[in-house]
Amino acid sequence: MASRAVPVHDADTVGILGTGSCLPGKVVTNDEVGAPAGVTDEWITRKTAIRERRWAKADEATSDLASMAARAALDDAGVCAADISLVLVATSTPDSPQPPTAAAVAAELGVSAGTPAFDLNAVCSGFVFALVTAERMIRGTGGHAVVVGADIYSRTLDPADRRTVVLFGDGAGAVVLGPTTTGGVLATELATFPQERDLISVPAGGSRIPASPASVAQGLHYFTMDGPAVRRFVESRVGPLIRSFLDRHLPDRTRRPHFVPHQANGRMIEALAEQLGFLPEHTHTTVRFLGNTGAASVPVTLDRAAGSLAPGDLVVLAGFGGGMAAGLALVEWQATGSAGRSRTRPGALTGDGT
């Protein structure tokens, strides 16, 4: 589905008013994850461009990271909790099957009783799916939404599986959406390819294979992925989908857009950006020092990139992953942050191209 393709600003225009992120303090090196999986730092860097990632501590849950990212985004936007009319958390690693993680985030933020809060699971595409959902829900209402992407994948990884354990990190990123007279969400597209849904999975822990001693013994609660098939999916499905999206919604390429893709794998991002003609200086990444943070990767990378974006810049957000699915959004940037202040990000990941 697609929204408006023409940048017309009216009372119904919804834009990104602020961004925020939260990363665990524990840094995990390639040597640490590579040894149990039987691979070296050189092998991991060559295959993925990842040098390190952050993993949550034992007492940190997805809602903890999500709440801190959401609060940072609210502070950045200059919006208080009482003004929030929707809390939406994209995650495939919730605190628990129920209640929704978004309810814990809403409680931590102190939003008004009765404010809707719910989770959305579209795996690594989740944040863009959630952004589109929230934008549609608040458009024309004058309300504000907190949209969070958050995952703790370190809890689902098989330490001996080199295909997955070297890729993933933990984190959360968030945006505040609200009415704006400049900038805003100009176009969106969501797509799912269910015939390929088994390329990425966590087989057990749901209603088909409930948790049991047998499922644990068989390792069915671990994250599994067919890496070569996922790469082919990105090349054959995601690349053409983004190209078609740009052709329809941004035919005038004289306005060179910024590109904030899902941080699946550094080598994959390089190939995808080159395939689509995005300038290297406009392609924003955090994968080298954070790895693949699932639904958090797009908003975390956007938060890191915000300091280099100017009002009027065009930004393409692209999430893709399990389902298999992809979510796209074209955003015209505005002077985000309180009173449009300069967006300097503390703790910048030096040398990560953001």
Dist. CA 291–CA 287, nearest whole Å? 4
Region 307-316 average pLDDT: 94
253 has pLDDT over 90: no
| CB contact set of 99 (below 8 Å; sequence gap of 6+) | none
Catalytic residue list: 124, 262, 292
4 compared with 96, residue with greater pLDDT: 96
Quote the pTM value.
Answer: 0.91
The pLDDT of 292-314, averaged and rounded, is 96
Average pLDDT over residues 3-24: 73
What's the pLDDT score for residue 8? 41
pLDDT band at 336 (very low <50, low <70, confident <90, very high): low
Task: Give CA–CA dist 97/220, Å, rounded.
Answer: 17
DSSP state of 341: -
pLDDT tier at 254, thresholds 50, 70, 90 = confident
Tell me what the pLDDT averaged over the chain comes to.
90
Sorting pLDDT into bands at 50, 70 and 90, what band is 335? low
pLDDT of residue 183: 79
C-alpha triplet 287, 123, 86: angle, nearest 5°: 105
d(CA 243, CA 221): 36
Average pLDDT over residues 217-241: 91
Give the pLDDT score at 69: 98
CA distance 176 to 77: 7
Show me where the domains of the chain are located: 1-338
| Backbone region of residue 107 per phi and psi (left: phi > 0; alpha: psi in -120 to 50; beta: other values) | alpha
Contacts of 232 (CB under 8 A, 6+ apart): none
What does the pLDDT read at residue 337?
A: 60
For residue 321, the cross-strand partners are 325
Whole-number pLDDT of residue 103? 98
> Which tens digit of pLDDT belongs to each residue from 36-70?
999 999 999 999 999 999 999 999 999 999 999 99
Q: What is the pLDDT of residue 64?
A: 98
Q: Is pLDDT at 178 greater than 80 in this prediction?
A: yes
Q: Is the pLDDT of residue 169 over 90?
A: yes
CATH number assigned to the domain covering 1-338:
3.40.47.10
